[in-house]
Amino acid sequence: MAVPVPWSSLTADEKRTRTLEVADELFAREGVDVPMPTLAHALGVGVGSIYRQVGTKDDVLAALVITRSKALRARFLATLDEPDPWAALAAATHATVDDCLGDALSQSAWDVAASASAEVRAARAGATDALARMVRRARDAGALRDDASHEDLRLVFCALRELAGIGPEAAHRLAELALRGIRADPLRPKGDQSPGNG
């Protein structure tokens, strides 16, 4: 096991990165209610060092949400280059379910961070826009019902951040049910995919 580089030898960017990595691990293990002194102890530094590199605990949470939002945006945009829009959407959905299950940040933490920071709101909006583009591409290709929306999947992701305790099998089952609900009926002509037309 590699010995961590001493804090004093790290650059400012490296200190910020380490702080967020340790905070992420700590929150996953003990929840987001852990106090800043506990995070400082895990880092082996004083609380003041965290304030200098990242800011308050709210700033730490905001930085984690921004990182997650950017990763989601990249994942959803990557599907636009895949040859099969449906397969790409399904794979990205299940990968995001795994993220939700492993995310220590509840939906309420995401919402609080967004309400307090324009940067968080912008990052989340970027992820939502990429999700909408992924869904729109699959819908335009005829893989989804005409009334399918990115909100259908966003509801699943938001719910799973609060219900991660249901476990992987149930979580992926929930996602699969949502995917089946928005998938186009191959026996029904395009333009006739809305509820009540069957």
Concatenating the DSSP letter of every residue in 65-101 gives HHHHHHHHHHHHHHGGGSS-HHHHHHHHHHHHHHHHH
- As a whole number, mean pLDDT of residues 170-182 equals 95
Residue 132 has pLDDT above 90, yes or no: yes
When divided into structural domains, the chain yields a total of 2
Residue 50 inside a domain? The answer is yes
Residues 65 and 35 in one domain: no
Average pLDDT value for the chain: 88
Residue 164 has pLDDT above 80, yes or no: no
CATH number, residue 37: 1.10.10.60
Q: What are residue 183's phi and psi, to 5 degrees?
A: -70, 145
Determine, yes or no, domain membership for 193: no
In 3D, which of 123, 137, 145 has the Cα closest to residue 190? Answer: 145
Q: Are residues 34 and 113 in the same domain?
A: no
Residue 172 and residue 81 share a domain: yes
User: pLDDT tens, 139-158?
Assistant: 999 999 999 999 999 999 98
Domain of 155, CATH number, reads 1.10.357
Which has the closest alpha carbon to 110: 164, 161, 165, 35? 161
Residue 165's pLDDT band (cuts 50, 70, 90): confident
Task: Note whether 175 and 109 are same-domain residues.
Answer: yes
Which domain, by its residues, includes 33? 11-55
Asked whether residue 2 is domain-assigned, the answer is no
48 and 65 belong to one structural domain:
no
CB-CB contact of 34 with 26 (8 Å) = yes
Rg of the chain over all Cα atoms, to the nearest angstrom = 20
When pLDDT is cut at 50, 70 and 90, the band that residue 162 belongs to is confident
- The residue ranking higher by pLDDT, 34 or 128, is 128
pLDDT digits (tens, 9 = 90+) for 38-81: 999 999 999 998 998 888 888 998 999 899 999 999 999 999 99
- Spell out where the chain has E strands: none
